Structure 1
Amino acid sequence: MKDSLLENFENLGLAPILVQNLTRLGLTKPTPIQEQGIPHIVRGRDLLGLAQTGTGKTAAFGLPMLTRIIAYGKRPGPKTVRALVLAPTRELATQIHENLSAFGEGAPIRIQRVVGGASINVQTEKLAKGTDVLIATPGRLLDLLERRALVLSETKYLVLDEADQMLDIGFIHALRRIAKLIPAERQTMLFSATMPKLMEELAQSYLTDPVKVQVAPPGKVADKIEQGIHFVNQGDKATLLSEYLAKHPGELAVVFNRTKHGSDKLARLLENWGFSVAAIHGNKSQNQRERALSAFRAGEIQVLVATDVAARGLDIPLVAHVYNYDLPNVPENYVHRIGRTARAGRNGRAVAFCAPAEMDDLKAIQKAMNANIPVIGGEPHAVVDAPRPGQSKQGKRPHRGHGGQGQGKPQGQRPRSDAPRKPARAADGGAARPRRRGAAATAE
């Protein structure tokens, strides 16, 4: 039977060594974003790619870009950069670097990564010889440009990955400063999961006669993710989470918390209750974050508590569960968070905990997805004027129980006793977890 584009990479115009590496990596069938985008990029067209996380965007821009760079046949000049890939977070930049390095193994190309939290002097030394592909976070790139550690006057390719998140976290001014340093005669690729008004303006400013490729509507959730919402009071979330985790011993889970302090606090609590856990967020050093991710990827720890720093760029196929301990206040981030599971064709499960103060956040999420999340536990709360997770409570406490009787414990505190104690072990020998009073977990 004649091969079609949908069946292999060979007909997409890629360099033979890249196709060989893809085969070695077990990648033989392009995803829709790759099938539709790669031919246009190989021909030199600007591209606007709209696709959710986990759809293969790195290969969609990386493979054709590497193909064109390999064709140069010579090394880049000192301090120059041929292709610049900008990513919003260190984790995403690291993931892109790992993928591109694997795709281009054995090819005469130099691929570098520069992010905050690592030695800028070491990065400066690496850039001195010239770079074919540089993956960078905007802040660290500006630091290096100010030190004159590199120049962008010979950069011919610019990729903005997860551009909507870069706008969300305030990188618009940095992007404009960087773009002015890159020649206007370049090929630009912009990838985003959503298309807000500011993103449209950015695309008009950066792209010239672009091809638009959209493989899934913004906000669409991967089909293989089983979702559920569990209504619970804020003070009961930690205990409820421990019950869910204990039902799936040995399976990897990512828990999203809204704040850095809350992530550390929850991780310590889960560790005290017998779970293998680590936390990552913006206050952790790059080495701390990489050690935690390496241990999580290797299965040495089973639970990773994170802020939205890990909502994109965390590509670990064995993640089976995502728990939204706190609902995100940016609706689109819900889709990115739960996209950390159901990777590489696997099934996944995403459970969101909703406290009374988060009912408006839940409505916004469901409106953005144009779908309701199935209720798997608890009863919907009445909308109340209460502080959201991570905000000052100013003397307010959530009520315990769905009937609103009594006062709740502060977030993460054990029920029954204020004194630290080791939680009871399940009768079947399962993971240690606290006993829970009040509304029972009825999710499974």
Structure 2
Amino acid sequence: MTFKSLGLSGPILAALDAQGYDKPTPIQAQAIPPVLDGKDLLGIAQTGTGKTAAFVLPTLQRLMAKDIGRLVPGRARMLVLAPTRELAAQIAESARNYSAGQHVRVGVVFGGVPVPRSIREVSRGLDILVATPGRLLDLVDQRALDLSALEILVLDEADQMLDLGFIHDLKRVVKIIPQKRQTLFFSATMPKQIRQLAEQFCTRPVEVKVTPVGTTAERVRQAVTFVSQREKQALLNLFFKTEPFDLALVFSRTKHGCDRIVRRLGAAGIEAAAIHGNKSQPQRERALAAFRNGEIRVLVATDIAARGIDIPGVSHVVNYDLPNVPDQYVHRIGRTARAGAEGIAYSFCDDEERPYLRDIEKLIRQRIGDVPLPESFNDAVAATEEAGDPRPARRRSKPKHGIKANKGHRPAANGKPKPKNRQRRRGGLQRGAKRA
């Protein structure tokens, strides 16, 4: 089967050829024809199967086939909702690549960037708007964005949006967009709540399922090592010094854990970067760009970034902390073995995380083989403890313009601090005036 046999137009086929795509993936082969026919669609497929092209390619063709003249300022014809900034940015980049050479305007808005910049992004009107739910509703509330003429709505990674607490935002979005529209609903997993949400958004959707719920990528080799939480860093340092890898993605449960891992890797001579919710958008973009270009080979992230990293060169995924939600394990290891490549998923598990491991194995319906600690592990533990945690030096704040830190108090005759008269400072009482 080829993309041409699916009914895609010449300009889109030329763009696909320029990107080096020749054969559609299973989700693309099953989803593109009904979407071209204008039907609603419910797509269930694991990460790394080409879902983005499965909805961008046919919707692009539908938008291009309808001549509407000039775009209306502040309006969008198609809206794609994504759970994370990174995923939104990558969807927008894919849409621009697939529409190369065509008069299609693509915009992206998400939190972490100034609101005026997002307002400018939508002010000229857009064919395709990719957004995170929070920033989208901010623009709607400020009347910078009008969704009354929306033709196509796409929800990507719907289960992740539910996990991140976007359910109320999604229910609000569906109330302010036209009822007569095409809706495409994509998710890697399909729990009961997601199916109920899909019923609210879609009308008699065509259901496409290419893999059973909870399955992991076939080309990912999985392994687990049992190690105490205190000694995980030593095992990670040893792993990167002895294991050949191209690009490695390390998952930590917390933001501070990400930063601590990066510091300790640096102390061991392993360059790494972190992305998580406390990082600014420019910081996250720089870290991802450096990782994608191979400038740094190790990226440490929280689950918030698990769905937004679509980099074919990731050879290893390391679960420094096992996720307490088993679905997240599937999404994490789906960051490797992409585009037909093979990958390795390596997990660290301490005694308290064993219940998480059992839940994961129950979900994926297979046992993850355990790997014993290497012989040189004790030496690695000693070296890691000796290096410690090189925290960045804190800058001491200096008094401004030579004013002392206790400028709000003046010494009295008896040596005790005497508060200043605040009313005098604010101009409430003139110097020398008496109270009535």
Q: Matches of residues 259-274 of structure 1 in structure 2 within 5 Å?
A: 259-274=254-269
Q: What is the one-letter code of the residue matched to 1:9?
A: F
Shift of 1:418: 7.1
2:297 paired residue number = 302
Equivalent residue number for residue 52 of structure 1: 46
Partner of 1:363: 358
**1:118 alignment partner AA:** V
Q: CA deviation at 1:203?
A: 1.0
- Give the 3-state SS of the residue equivalent to 1:323 in structure 2: strand
Asked if structure 2 preserves the Cα contact closer than 8 Å seen for 1:235 and 1:413, the reply is no
Cα–Cα, structure 1 residues 310 and 420, in superposed 2: closer, same or farther, change >3 Å? closer
Q: Of the candidates 34, 37, 61, which is equivalent to residue 31 of structure 2? A: 37
TM-score (norm 1): 0.84
Question: Post-superposition shift, 1:248?
Answer: 3.5
**Structure 2 CA distance, aligned partners of 1:419 and 1:233?**
17
Q: Look up the equivalent residue of 1:48 and give its one-letter code.
A: L
Please give the TM-score of this superposition, normalised by the length of structure 2: 0.86
C-alpha displacement of 1:204:
1.0
Distance 2:102 2:12 in 1: 8
Secondary structure, counterpart of 2:300 in structure 1 = strand
What is the CA deviation profile of residues 380-439 of structure 1, one whole-angstrom value per residue up to 9, with x for unaligned ones?
xxxxxxxxxxxxxxxxxxxxx99xxxxxxxxx9965547679xxxxxxxxxxxxxxxxxx
How far is 1:75 from its partner? 3.3
**Structure 1 residue corresponding to 2:347, chosen from 352, 364, 387:** 352
Which amino acid counterpart does residue 43 of structure 2 have in structure 1? G
SS of residue in 2 equivalent to 1:213: strand
Whole-angstrom distance in 2 between the partners of 1:32 and 1:420:
47
Distance, in Å, in 1 between the alignment partners of 2:149 and 2:160 is 27
Q: How far apart are the structure 2 equivalents of 1:141 and 1:419?
A: 44
Structure 1 unpaired stretches of 5+: 1-5, 380-400, 403-411, 422-444
Aligned length: 386
Answering whether residue 52 of structure 2 is matched by residue 63 of structure 1, we say: no
Out of 265, 280, 286, the residue aligned to residue 281 of structure 2 is 286
1:360 Cα deviation (Å)?
A: 0.6
The CA distance in 2 between the partners of 1:413 and 1:334, in whole Å, is 30
- Pick the aligned partner of 2:89 from 86, 91, 94: 94
Compute the displacement of 1:311 (Å). 1.1
1:377 match: secondary structure = coil
Pick from 320, 325, 332: which aligns with 1:325?
Answer: 320
The secondary structure found in structure 2 opposite 1:52 is coil
- Give the drift of 1:11: 1.7
CA contact (8 A) 2:263 2:389 kept: no
Corresponding residue for 1:433?
none
More helix by share: 2
- Please say which structure displays the higher CA radius of gyration: 2
Deviations 1:146-198 (A, max 9, x none): 11111000001000000001001100000011111110000000001111111
Q: Cα 1:173–1:420, aligned 2, differ >3 Å: closer, same or farther?
A: closer
Q: Percent identity?
A: 52
Matched, 1:191 2:200: no
Tell me which residue corresponds to 1:10.
Answer: 4
**Equivalent residues in 2 for 1:73-92 (5 A)?**
73=67, 74-92=69-87
Q: Any conservation in 2 of the 1:91–1:309 contact (CA below 8 Å)? A: no
Q: Once superposed, what is the RMSD of the aligned Cα atoms? A: 1.9
Which residue is 1:391 aligned to?
Answer: none
- Which amino acid letter does the alignment assign opposite residue 323 of structure 1? V
Report the residue type matching 1:370 in the other structure.
R
CA contact (8 A) 1:88 1:166 kept: yes
Long gaps (5+) in structure 2: 391-436
Deviation at 1:289, TM superposition (A): 0.2
2:237 pairs, out of 230, 238, 242, with 242
